[in-house]
Amino acid sequence: MTATTHDDLELLLQEVAEFGIELESPPQWERVNVDRSDGGIVSTIVWGSDEPRAAFLHGGGLNAHTWNTTVLSGGWPAVALDLPGHGDSSWHDDVDYRPERLAGPVAEVLARLAPNSEVVVGQSLGGLTAIALAATHPELVQRLVVIDVSPGLVVGGGNQVRDFLAGPDSFASRDEIVDRALEFGFGPTRAAVERGVLRNTRERDDGRVVFKHHFANLSAGTGVSMPSDFASLWPALESIAVPVLLVRGSRGFLNDELEKEFLARTPGAVAVTIESGHNVQEEAPLELASAITEFLARS
């Protein structure tokens, strides 16, 4: 385990202040690296000192910090993972980041750090990974929250995240990335985007700034990109026997037809819409935390 740095804590307190989150005591968290059976690592943030009640999986191109304000708003002891190929976790040499492949390393982490978690929460690629996880490792998923994604969603041209990640592979400065992210409609405020970019980038030896995640560091012409068609996950979702909550951002990727299909193919699932874009956990963390809390309280 490694201690939280002063800079990390300062950024976190900025988030707390920006969203008006009231804390009874200073946030307690640690960065923990979990060794994978294939030799890589999955880097995680462990919140609180009690056994985790919740586990969080982020979307493509993001990292565990995307959940900071949601976790603090909910007040749960929790774990948030850097998915393989993201943040401080190892990359896959074969560049296979399909949800079915990601579910294996995630299962190893949760079995170690949060075997009795009451809920697994996943957004976008993390939501699809959580579906695969629930189907293949049901002992690790008591409840499932899927945020602004569905196996029926096809991520093609004109998609906000896909188009953003298809941009330059390096930048002259972090401000350049912030400006680009704001142009694409990411983040509730410039300050929030600046924090996200700071945590999600590194500076190369030549002074150019690059993203930490693998998707943005692929050589041109490899033909490899983010997964885009997830229909193969329908059987996995339909097999899940635990309670399922679908959270939809009002300005996100799901439409009425996709929501209707998700609910029709997932008996007993319920849905809630939150005023937000695709990254609900960053734009409306208090509302999302409230929805998760209410979901956990249901019999």
Task: Kindly report, residue by residue over 46-101, the tens digit of the pLDDT.
Answer: 999 999 999 999 999 999 999 999 999 999 999 999 999 999 999 998 899 999 99
- Positions annotated as catalytic residues are 124, 148, 278
Question: β-strand 119-123 against 209-211: which pairing, if any?
Answer: unpaired
Range 6-155+221-297 has CATH code 3.40.50.1820 = yes
Q: Report the greatest alpha carbon distance in the chain.
A: 56
Strand pairing report for 144-147 and 119-123 = parallel
Residues in the chain: 299
Could you tell me the mean pLDDT of each successive run of 10 residues in the chain, 299 residues long?
55 91 89 94 97 97 96 97 96 92 97 98 98 98 98 76 80 94 88 91 92 80 64 96 97 96 94 97 97 94
Domain ranges of the chain: 6-155+221-297
Cα dist. 118→140, 204, 224, 269, 286 in Å?
9, 40, 35, 16, 19
Return all residues near 142 (Cβ < 8 A) that are at least 6 apart: 117, 118, 119, 242
